Amino acid sequence: MTAGTKNFTPRMVLATIAALLFGAQWLFGEPPLWLFAAPMNLLAGVLWLAVIYEGYRRRTTSKAVQYLLSAEATYMALAIVAIVAVVLGLQSEPASTSWPVVGALLFAQTVLSLVILRGWRNERGVRWRFLIIHFGLWLALMSALLGASDKQVLRVQVGSEPTREALNEQGEKHFLDYELRLENFVMEHSESGAPERFCATVAVDDKVVDIEVNSPYTVNFGEDIYLVSYTAEGCVLQIVRDPWQVVTTIGIAILLLGAFVLFMKGFQNRER
């Protein structure tokens, strides 16, 4: 195989996929994330990883896998994600769940998965520095990708009357399985008049809790209540349901450990 075809073909495939993704966005709008709510995301995730693992096993014969494991694919994945980030950074309403963005992240995650499978150990044993950094990023990205469909953000206008009625981002009504009632709302100002502290005292069913900015209340596993705003009648609470947040946090913690290792050890001593 000549160098020309080796570089040309995978790029053509990627460009075609990109064109299809932009076409899909133009034709159908946002991808149907709701289709992948649990348990579909788990199923799709397992299937995806199975395909990656099977592909990895066939790396000696499969040209596609060889490409995905090549240095060029790593540069490509990093470049594509960087470009996606720049484009999102220029949009005032970032299209972060559009087909091209999801496609770019899936591609990067596929490359990352294969690279981890190949590189997590060598003949001298486990490559801890490599593994911690790459696996931390992998876990955080995986939970963000698979968890996106399970995430729910609801807003509730809370006043002195108990309420269960919440609105999602599209303005559709949802009913909570607990009642919220505002007991008290405190707004403290400094001498200059700038707001210093907001605190909503809220009854969640019969339990009375304080909710402040930067101090949400965890009502259930993966479900937190945030104070976002106040009105003449009371305040606005935001309920975030994200059952995957624990996984994301673990991924971030591992990546933080990886950053510490990178700081201590640097990256120039090649392990391979």
Residues in touch with other proteins (CB under 8 A): 71, 74-75, 78-79, 81-83, 85-86, 88-92, 94, 96, 144, 153, 190-192, 194-198, 212-216, 224, 226, 228, 238, 240, 242, 245, 248-249, 252, 255-256, 258-260, 262-268, 270
CB 135 within 8 A of CB 256: no
In the bound state with other proteins, the residue whose beta carbon lies nearer, of 16 and 122, is 122
State the Cα–Cα distance between residues 39 and 102, nearest whole angstrom.
Answer: 19
* Minimum distance of other proteins from residue 124's CB (angstroms): 17
* Minimum distance of other proteins from residue 185's CB (angstroms): 13
* Minimum distance of other proteins from residue 42's CB (angstroms): 20
CB 224 within 8 A of CB 205: no
* Minimum distance of other proteins from residue 54's CB (angstroms): 26
In the bound state with other proteins, the residue whose beta carbon lies nearer, of 27 and 264, is 264
Task: Kindly list the distances between the CA atom of residue 107 and the CA atoms of 14, 114, 136, in Å, as whole numbers in the listed order.
Answer: 9, 11, 17
Place of tokens 């971030």: 252
In the bound state with other proteins, the residue whose beta carbon lies nearer, of 53 and 167, is 167
| DSSP category for residue 70 | S
H helical segments located in the chain? 3-28, 40-57, 63-68, 71-90, 99-119, 128-147, 245-265
In the bound state with other proteins, the residue whose beta carbon lies nearer, of 43 and 216, is 216
